[in-house]
């Protein structure tokens, strides 16, 4: 009986030690993972990381740093995203007016199928640049989570605002006014 009690205590000790080791490992992992995220989050006032992407349907590329001096809206979207579809007509409606005011709208598409994107662009008659981020490199660079996500970059190349979720026409216009270069 005594030997059996010792064996049970030993098993309990081993089990508890293993559970403690697992818990410590999880805490260390959580701390390391959160530390990385804090470093890569794009914050208001920070310089927007430069990127270069191909325009949809062409061999032409757009590089963010070449747009310095203009306000830039960078919208991350996909054709399967219902809220993305809802805000596209607002962007198209405001694009001609704000392009004249020195603001560029860049819609960074995250789809991998070109035909689906082509049909979407044609259906909505989009005239602003649609950029392809098939591998998600720019999405990762900006630490984008849910879509739609939109960044508003001022003429100095700094993040003015980040909006996660869909934009209404009024909110979109307000943000575009904020990043328009002074006349």
**95 pLDDT higher than 80:** yes
**33 pLDDT higher than 60:** no
Q: Give the pLDDT of residue 27.
A: 66
Asked whether residue 46 is assigned to any structural domain, the reply reads no
Distance (Å, whole) CA 140 – CA 105: 20
87 and 121 share a domain?
yes
Please check whether residue 149 is in contact with residue 74, taking contact to mean a CB–CB distance below 8 angstroms.
no
Listed range (28-32, 58-62, 101-105, 111-115) with the worst mean pLDDT? 28-32
139 and 159 share a domain?
yes
Asked whether residue 97 is assigned to any structural domain, the reply reads yes
17 and 58 share a domain?
no
In tens, the pLDDT along 36-57 reads 443 445 778 899 999 999 998 8
Q: Give the pLDDT of residue 29.
A: 63
pTM given for the model? 0.76
15 and 61 share a domain?
no
Contacts with 153 (C-beta within 8 Å, 6 or more apart), sequence order: 48, 64, 71, 72, 73, 74, 159, 160, 179
Quick one: average pLDDT of 2-23? 77
Which range marks the domain in which residue 118 is found? 52-179
102 and 147 share a domain?
yes
Name the domain count of the chain.
2
């Amino acid at each position: 009986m005594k030997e059996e009690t010792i064996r049970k205590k030993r098993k309990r000790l081993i089990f508890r030690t293993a559970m403690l080791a697992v818990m410590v490992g999880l805490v260390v992992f959580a701390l390391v993972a959160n530390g990385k995220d804090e470093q890569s989050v794009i914050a208001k006032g920070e310089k927007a990381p430069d990127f270069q992407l191909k325009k949809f349907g062409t061999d032409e590329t757009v590089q963010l740093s070449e747009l310095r001096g203009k306000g830039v809206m960078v919208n991350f979207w996909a054709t399967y995203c219902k809220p993305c579809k809802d805000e596209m007509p607002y962007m198209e409606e405001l694009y001609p007016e704000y392009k004249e005011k020195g603001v560029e709208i860049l819609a960074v598409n995250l789809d991998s199928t070109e035909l689906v994107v082509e049909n979407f662009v044609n259906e909505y008659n989009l005239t602003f640049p649609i950029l392809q981020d098939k591998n998600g490199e720019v999405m990762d660079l900006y630490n984008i989570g849910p879509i739609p996500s939109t960044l508003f970059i001022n003429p100095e190349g700094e993040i003015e605002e980040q909006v996660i979720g869909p934009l209404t026409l009024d909110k979109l216009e307000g943000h575009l006014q904020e990043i328009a270069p002074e006349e």
